[in-house]
C-alpha cells in the first residue's frame, strides 16, 4: 500500500482497473472533510469524485458499524428496515440477553460455553468449529508475538514509540534474575495488550475482539491464562473464546460495540467484559459468576469516551487496552470469590451503556473533536 501511494504521489497519476489513466495529484486533488457528519451512522465516509469542471461524477457512502463490518449506504438502510428472517436451523439456546442466558444455563445444566457450542454446531461440525476457534487464537498469538519483536516509531505523525518489546525485555530480565515483582501479572497483561494494539496502530493483522481499537484485551487475558494457570489447555482456550463470544453477542445485540456510537465504553468496555467472562469460565466459574464477572468489568468502563489524539488508534488507545485487560482479570477474580449473586445485573449495565452512549456528546465518540484529542494538542 505504501508503495502504491508513493507511486501516485510521484507520478501524479492513478490507474484504476478497467479505466483509463487519470491525472491526480494528492496534494491538490484529495480533499478531506473531517467535520460533516453523515446521517446513517456516526462512523461513516463519503467518497466523491469530480471532474476538472467540478461536476460530481461519482458518490459512494460506506459505514463502519463495529466489529470489522463495513457496509454501503444501501446495505445499512436495508438492515434498518427489514425484519430478521426466521432461521432455517433454529439454535437450541436462542438467548437474546444475559437473563435468558442464565435461565437457559440453569434449565439445561450446561455451561455458557457449551450452550454457545451447541448453537454454533447447528451451522458447522464440531471439528470445523474447533478448527475455527484454534485459528482465531493462532492469529491472536501471532499478533502478540509480532508486537513483542517490533521496535521503532508507529506511523501517523504522532511519532509514538513502540514500547511492548522494551517492556517485554525488562520482564524477561527480571525473571532471569529472580527479582521480586509484586505487579508481575499486571505487567504481563499490559505488555501483551500493548503488543497487539501497537500492531493494530501500525496496520498489522489483528482479530476484532470485538473491534480493532479494543483488539488487545481478549488476547492479553488469554495469554495471561496460559502463562499463569497450570491447568490451561486447548479446550480451555476454546471455552474462553466461546464464552467471550456469547457475552459479546449479548452486548452488541442490546447496545453497541462501536466507539463511534457509544464511546470507548462500547469498545474496551465490551472487550473487558468478554475477557472477564472467558477467564471466569476457565477458572471454573458458574454461569452466574461468569455473568457477574462480565458485569463488573463493563460497569467500571461506563462513561468512557473515545477521543483518539489526531484520529489515530494510538493515544490513549494502546494503554487503555492494557488497563482493560487488568480490569478483566480483576473482575473475574472478584466474581469467582463470590457465589454469583450481585446487585447490578449485566443486562442493566448493558442498557446503561446504551443510554450513556446515546446521551454522550458527539465530540467524545471517535471524532477527535474533544477530550484528549484537543487538550493534548493545546498543551
pTM for the complete prediction? 0.90
pLDDT band, very low/low/confident/very high, at 191 (cuts 50, 70, 90)? very high
pLDDT band, very low/low/confident/very high, at 193 (cuts 50, 70, 90)? very high
* Average of per-residue pLDDT across 121-126: 97
pLDDT band, very low/low/confident/very high, at 86 (cuts 50, 70, 90)? low
pLDDT band, very low/low/confident/very high, at 379 (cuts 50, 70, 90)? very low
| Cell output for 123 | 451451522
Residue 115 near residue 105 (C-beta atoms within 8 A)? yes
Closest CA relative to residue 184, chosen from 224, 137, 143: 224
Residue 114: enclosing H or E segment and its boundaries? helix 112-120
pLDDT band, very low/low/confident/very high, at 83 (cuts 50, 70, 90)? low
| Cell output for 370 | 474533544
- 253 pLDDT more than 50: yes
* Average of per-residue pLDDT across 268-278: 98
Task: Report the alpha-carbon angle 180-186-191, nearest 5.
Answer: 105
Name beta bridge partners: 71: 63
- 26 pLDDT more than 80: yes
**Per-residue pLDDT, 178:** 87
Name the residue ranges covered by the structural domains of the chain.
8-81, 98-378
**pLDDT tens sequence across 280-294:** 999 999 999 999 999
Q: How many residues does the chain have?
A: 379
* Average of per-residue pLDDT across 105-123: 98
Most confident segment among 14-18, 43-47, 217-221, 308-312: 217-221
* Average of per-residue pLDDT across 176-205: 94
* Average of per-residue pLDDT across 232-237: 97
Hunting for cell 488476547 — which residue is that?
219
> Strands across the sheet with 69-72, in order?
44-50, 56-66, 69-72
Share of the chain above pLDDT 90, in %: 84
Architecture of domain 8-81: 2-Layer Sandwich (3.30)
Return mean pLDDT, the chain. Answer: 94
**Per-residue pLDDT, 80:** 77
Q: Which residue has the higher pLDDT, 148 or 81?
A: 148
Amino acid at each position: 500500500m505504501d508503495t502504491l501511494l508513493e507511486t501516485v504521489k510521484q507520478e501524479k497519476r492513478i490507474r484504476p482497473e478497467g479505466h483509463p489513466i487519470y491525472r491526480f495529484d494528492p496534494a491538490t486533488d484529495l480533499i478531506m472533510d473531517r467535520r460533516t457528519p453523515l446521517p446513517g451512522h456516526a462512523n461513516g465516509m463519503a467518497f466523491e469524485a469530480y471532474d476538472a469542471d467540478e461536476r460530481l461524477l461519482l458518490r459512494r457512502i460506506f459505514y463502519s458499524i463495529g466489529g470489522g463490518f463495513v457496509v454501503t449506504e444501501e446495505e445499512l438502510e436495508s438492515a434498518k428496515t427489514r425484519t430478521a428472517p426466521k432461521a432455517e436451523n433454529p439454535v437450541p439456546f436462542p438467548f437474546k440477553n444475559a437473563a435468558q442466558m442464565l435461565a437457559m444455563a440453569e434449565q439445561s445444566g450446561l455451561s455458557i460455553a457449551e450452550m454457545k457450542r451447541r448453537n454454533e454446531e447447528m451451522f458447522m461440525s464440531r471439528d470445523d468449529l474447533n478448527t475455527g476457534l484454534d485459528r482465531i487464537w493462532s492469529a491472536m498469538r501471532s499478533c502478540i508475538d509480532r508486537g513483542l519483536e517490533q521496535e521503532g516509531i508507529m506511523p501517523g505523525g504522532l511519532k509514538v514509540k513502540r514500547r511492548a518489546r522494551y517492556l517485554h525485555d525488562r520482564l524477561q530480565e527480571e525473571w532471569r534474575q529472580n527479582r521480586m515483582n509484586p505487579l508481575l501479572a499486571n505487567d504481563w497483561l499490559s505488555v501483551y495488550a500493548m503488543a497487539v494494539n501497537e500492531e493494530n496502530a501500525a496496520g498489522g493483522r489483528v482479530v476484532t475482539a470485538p473491534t480493532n481499537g479494543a483488539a488487545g484485551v481478549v488476547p492479553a487475558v488469554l495469554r495471561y491464562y496460559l502463562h499463569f494457570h497450570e491447568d490451561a489447555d486447548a479446550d480451555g482456550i476454546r471455552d474462553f473464546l466461546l464464552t467471550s463470544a456469547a457475552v459479546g453477542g449479548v452486548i452488541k445485540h442490546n447496545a453497541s460495540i462501536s466507539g463511534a456510537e457509544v464511546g470507548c465504553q462500547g469498545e474496551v468496555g465490551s472487550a473487558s467484559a468478554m475477557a472477564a467472562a472467558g477467564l471466569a469460565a476457565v477458572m471454573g466459574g458458574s454461569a452466574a459468576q461468569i455473568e457477574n464477572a462480565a458485569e463488573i468489568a463493563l460497569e467500571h468502563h461506563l462513561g468512557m469516551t473515545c477521543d483518539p489524539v489526531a484520529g489515530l488508534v494510538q493515544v490513549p488507545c494502546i494503554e487503555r487496552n492494557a488497563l482493560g485487560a487488568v480490569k478483566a482479570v480483576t473482575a473475574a477474580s472478584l466474581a469467582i470469590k463470590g457465589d454469583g449473586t450481585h446487585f447490578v445485573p449485566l443486562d442493566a449495565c448493558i442498557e446503561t451503556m446504551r443510554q450513556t452512549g446515546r446521551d454522550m456528546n458527539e465530540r467524545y465518540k471517535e471524532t477527535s473533536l474533544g477530550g484528549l484529542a484537543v487538550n493534548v494538542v493545546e498543551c
